[in-house]
Amino acid sequence: MAVRGKHILLGICGSIAAYKAAYLTRLLVKAGAKVQIVMTPDATHFVTPLTLSTLSGNPVLVDYFNATTGEWNNHVHLALEADAIVMAPASANTLAKFAHGLCDNLLCAVYLSAKSPVFIAPAMDLDMWGHGTTQSNIARLQSFGNHVIPPGNGDLASGLSGEGRLAEPEEILDALEAYFTKTLPLAGKKALVTAGPTYEAIDPVRYIGNHSSGKMGYALASQLLFLGAEVTLVSGPTDLPVPIRAEYVAVTSASEMLSACMAHFAQSDITIMSAAVADYTPKTVADQKIKKEHAALRIELVKTPDILAELGKQKQPGQILVGFALETQDEQANAISKLHRKNLDFIVLNSVRDHGAGFAGDSNKITIIDQNSDIEVFGLKPKMEVARDICVRIMRLLKLP
């Protein structure tokens, strides 16, 4: 998430739509943002500071001065600490104050002190929104460089229906993500990541598979998103939550994974094949469950498609293709052979002999080998940090800082 680690100041004005600010706060915190909330006095009539303080993990500020503690809320410092300021909901009254420099509460003072981008999400009845003065104020605010998140069209608190309802919290988060993504190193790049196992059916209830949890691939998808890339995640069966904003393609078998990869590979600048694809699949699949009637069962197996080799044949100049090799013996020799046979830019080698690495766990120990036979060995790390190391190598290939 591009907002991860960002300081977001959320300004809340007096509007029935203030209840949505609680959900927006939750989304921002879940995305990894640090949220400081400033409310106008009227906003406290619609949603309590206690609710928002609990959700944000920070005290909610309303006034310049706390008479009980003697603490002064410095509007200048609040504005300077913010990576972005979001006014949601922004009432017609507060919009007018912002547009004309009126400063009769803490939130207005923060706005006038802002150095970071300001996002304004208006909320009001349709006639108030459509009034010439409101539209003039909106145009004036945009001329100052503010980002206006347009209101939606639908049912309003007045009982009327039309334009004026606060943009949905997800839309506001998307606007922030889009802004911060533009400044990230992989902005504009498309990435394809495969993850998890494939299951090759024997009959309707049994399959051939492996122990892959998908954690490494999902960590890579999350890290690429964090760096600004558009990510398509093609995943075999896992129980992992899909990274927010990733395009998700669920597959089961190796043939399904091949089809999904072929559909996205040509448009991808970066492809990382971390899935543990089954090497063999039953030649025939029984229509009904095979009964346990005999002491032995023979299943004829055939090779599954070599997805990585197929993509390596189709790779064009400028595309980056990364593969994984999980080995049990002659690790480096086998990995180097795979690197060259499949036309990879570099290969990520795991050994199941390394304690704490490999399938299912939360850590991994890798070695990266490139086309120049340069070998870089990493220590045991959490898989998210391993994903970061792999992305650093990709950015080096792209000649990015």
The catalytically annotated residue of 74, 93, 210, 334 is 210
Give per-10-residue mean pLDDT for the chain (401 aa): 89 95 96 95 95 95 81 87 95 96 95 94 91 92 90 80 87 89 85 96 91 92 88 95 88 97 97 95 91 84 95 96 88 92 95 66 89 91 90 92 66
Q: Are 11 and 89 in contact (CB under 8 A)?
A: no
Q: Are 349 and 386 in contact (CB under 8 A)?
A: no
Q: Are 117 and 178 in contact (CB under 8 A)?
A: no
Q: What is the pLDDT of residue 186?
A: 92
Distances (CA, A) of 101 to 104, 150, 267: 10, 22, 48
Q: What is the pLDDT of residue 356?
A: 62
- Tell me the three state secondary structure of residue 379: coil
Q: What is the pLDDT of residue 343?
A: 96
CA distance 352 to 356: 9
- Tell me the three state secondary structure of residue 256: helix
> Is there a catalytic annotation at residue 210?
yes
Cα torsion angle, 59, 63, 66, 71, sign? positive
Q: What is the pLDDT of residue 355?
A: 66
Q: What is the pLDDT of residue 340?
A: 95
CA distance 112 to 99: 10
Q: What is the pLDDT of residue 351?
A: 75
Structural domains present in the chain? 7-181 (3.40.50.1950), 190-397 (3.40.50.10300)
Q: What is the pLDDT of residue 327?
A: 79
Q: Strands 270-273, 320-327: parallel, antiparallel or unpaired by DSSP? A: parallel
Q: Are 18 and 11 in contact (CB under 8 A)?
A: no
Q: What is the pLDDT of residue 15?
A: 93
